Amino acid sequence: MLEKGKISAVQMGLMLYPTVLGTGFLVLPTLSSRYAGNDLWLTSMLASLTGVIAIYAACRLHDHYPKQSIVQYSENIVGTIPGKILGVIYFLYLVRATGIITREYAEFVKGNFLFKTPILLVIALMIVLAAVAVRGGVEMLARSAVIFTPIFIIPLFLLLFLIGQLDLGNIFPILNHGLVPVLRGTASPQAWMSEFFLMTFFLPCLQDPGKGKQWGTVSLIAVVLSLTYVNLITLFLLGPDIENKSYPVLTAFRYISVANFVENLEAGLLAMWIVGNFVKIAVFYYATVLSLAHTCQLSDYRSIVFPIGILAVICSMWGLPDLPKVKLYLKLVAPFEITTILLIIPMILLIIRALRAKKTNGGEKATR
């Protein structure tokens, strides 16, 4: 094992929560409402099935290969050469995903707060911070999540100040156009739920591996409840106009006013966005580094951390010249790309492993 550090299942669960919702809070309400309309609050519940499957696949594969990540056990399942190819695919996807997630973070920060700051500087600073955390190992990542995840969650409670401005009638009529638009609106949330499979890179590091599935499920439940809560708040506040907002949650924060004294709470959202995305970027960054290290069978991954960071910065700008292109990518490409890499391929590996085990057991019985 390249990673000698150990973390608890609770720490892993705390890492997974912002890993899924770091970008999800801001973009998913808009992406879902374009298809589901006022039924967008149902999309996170339906998408939870994908999270269940992702956690199941990660844990089942870990049971068969307890000391390995997907890059390592894929060689045992499909052979050395196909396994190496899968390792390269995972590395390329993860380094690009790290760059794009950082770009999403930077676009929000620059477009709403740091208007005159070069976006490349915002991206580079976050990558450097994440690189330091990744070089520190899984224990540093876990401790960062323990500190930052509560900070990420607390601003959500500020949305309760909007209760007096909410129109509960915006939820009606429910399923007015049937279930098909809701299923189309579920495409993006279910892709984000697929990111729970990244726990495959942390399960070998658990002090209590038997609790990995339990705390992965707890994190999934927390994600579904949080996303449903945010979807409902923004729906009750903005109504049909939600699909026209780039960041509905930011708009909601700007509506908060208590006795004309407590106002301008966007800073709370900014703090939430920074710390949540730091954890998410660091988790993807860590998975990227391990993918390359395992594929190349390196003895230490720390020497490649900063070079991969440079690649991530390049990927954050490559092919995405402006914010509309980023939004188009998130709408049309990301749902299929994420689901394929983090859900479909692991399930195929699990099925191949099960078929081979069944064939082997059948052969042993026939010999007897």
CA neighbours closer than 13 Å in the CB half-sphere of residue 214: 9
Model pTM above 0.85:
yes
pLDDT in tens, the chain (368 residues): 677 889 999 999 999 999 999 888 888 888 888 899 889 999 999 999 999 999 999 999 999 998 888 989 999 999 889 999 999 999 999 999 999 999 999 998 898 888 889 999 999 999 999 999 999 999 999 999 999 998 888 888 888 888 888 889 888 888 888 899 999 999 999 999 999 999 999 999 999 888 999 999 999 999 999 999 999 999 999 888 888 888 888 888 888 877 666 677 777 778 888 898 999 999 999 999 999 999 999 988 999 999 999 999 999 988 888 888 888 888 888 899 999 999 999 999 999 999 988 877 665 555 55
Query: Across the strands, what pairs with 206?
Result: 7
What is the number of other CB atoms lying within 10 angstroms of the CB of residue 46?
A: 18
Name the token pair of 278. 């730091």
CB 325 within 8 A of CB 32: no
Neighbours of 211 (CB within 10 A): 16
Secondary structure of residue 7 in the 3-state scheme:
strand
